[in-house]
């Protein structure tokens, strides 16, 4: 085998190995999905449960109020608390989505680093 043929053979083998590594890298992110989705689903469930309990408590307090001023006060407290809880839980869930995106893209970082540059 001549040197030119040997070099071509080595290049083809290297490209095939690189392709196999890339295919393997695409399989890895799927293992991060179940845990990430489970954490997000749990966070949504916890928020829904807390929201329901807070609303139930608010309705009970509002039913026991005897004056208009007290009703406005109870409603204001509930609105403030509900908004704070919403913002806090939204930030928490957003962070979980961010972590899931980072985990799913992590294997592709090595792939991009190995890509040959082209001068066109």
> For the chain, which residues make up each domain, given as ranges?
3-114
Give the pLDDT of residue 8. 54
pLDDT tens per residue across span 63-118: 999 999 999 999 999 999 999 999 999 999 999 999 998 888 877 766 666 667 77
Give the pLDDT of residue 103. 84
Among 53, 55, 60, 46, which residue's Cα sits nearest to residue 78? 55
pLDDT tens per residue across span 4-27: 555 555 555 555 555 555 545 445
10 Å CB burial of residue 68 (0-12, 13-18, 19+) is: exposed
Give the pLDDT of residue 118. 72
> What does the alpha-carbon distance between residue 51 and residue 73 come to, in Å, rounded to a whole number?
19
> DSSP class of residue 66?
-
Q: Is 57 a residue whose pLDDT tops 90?
A: yes
Q: Is 53 a residue whose pLDDT tops 60?
A: yes
Stronger pLDDT, 120 or 76, i.e. the higher one: 76
Query: CB within 8 A of 33, min separation 6: which ones?
Result: 100, 104
Tokens representing 101 are 């995106």
Q: Is 48 a residue whose pLDDT tops 80?
A: yes
Predicted TM-score (pTM) of the model is 0.61
- Count the Cβ atoms, other than its own, within 10 Å of residue 110: 11
């Amino acid at each position: 085998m001549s040197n030119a043929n040997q070099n071509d053979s080595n290049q083809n083998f290297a490209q095939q190995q690189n392709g196999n590594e890339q295919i393997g890298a695409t399989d890895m992110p799927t293992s991060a999905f179940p845990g990430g989705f489970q954490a997000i689903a749990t966070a949504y469930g916890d928020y829904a449960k807390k929201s329901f309990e807070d609303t139930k408590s608010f309705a009970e307090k509002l039913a026991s109020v005897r004056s208009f001023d007290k009703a406005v006060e109870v409603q204001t407290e509930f609105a403030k608390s509900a908004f704070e809880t919403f913002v806090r839980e939204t930030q928490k869930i957003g962070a979980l989505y961010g972590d899931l995106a980072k985990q799913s893209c992590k294997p592709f970082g090595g792939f991009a680093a190995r890509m040959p540059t082209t001068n066109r």
